[in-house]
Amino acid sequence: MSDIHALSSKPEREYCSTSEAAQMLGVSLGTVQQMVENGLLEAWKTAGGHRRIRIASVEDYLRKRSSGVSAAHPVALRVVVAEDDRIMQRLYMHTFETWGLPLEFRLVESGFDGLLEIGRQQPDLLISDLVMPGLDGFAMISKLRSDPKLAEMDIVVVTGLSPEDIAERGGLPDDVTVYGKPVPFKELKGYIQARLAQFQRRGRVAN
């Protein structure tokens, strides 16, 4: 018997679609996909590439959630993007939405706005341009890194400045990751997926 035939012989209602699982759990399709990748839900793929979720694993997850078991909750990465260019803001927003990852992202237009936003709720990741009106990225990052309460917040810079330009303006802390423009979304996605996996291993619960 072929593997495809064996899969197709599974009882019809033992499995549901990704959209059905999302409706049962009250979460987005992207969150369901992330839960499958993290092993929180059991699933398989049809010959046509469609994901099927084991209903029993969805029901088990719901039971654990209702009983207060926290380790199985999906995580969401909190991201602040500091970028003053409106076209770039829309590009970030559109790209993040197409990834289907559990992200909570906010957009700010200056370093000053970034400090205010981070003061309201500390993100896990700051993605920042350097050249912005008012308080620029250099000053904002210097202020953030002087606060020990923000030591675990990751900072990624995406800039059109050359390494020489950055050095002439005083440089950046060693723990800041720097990418050149255009925005390297492939690298950013890998970075974010790695952070999500790290949070999942630690058992962090999304707020």
User: Does 72 map to a domain?
Assistant: no
Interatomic CA distance for residues 176 and 126, integer angstroms: 10
Query: Residue 53: pLDDT band by 50, 70, 90 thresholds?
Result: very high
* Structural domain for 45, as ranges: 3-66
pLDDT digits (tens, 9 = 90+) for 104-159: 889 999 999 999 999 999 999 999 999 999 999 999 999 999 999 998 899 999 99
Same domain, 136 and 97: yes
Reference 158, options 78, 77, 80, 83; nearest CA is 83
User: Does 165 map to a domain?
Assistant: yes
Same domain, 189 and 98: yes
Residue 102 vs residue 199, higher pLDDT: 102
Same domain, 20 and 115: no
**Domain tally, the chain:** 2
Number of neighbours of residue 110 by Cβ within 10 angstroms:
19
CATH number of the CATH domain containing 135: 3.40.50.2300
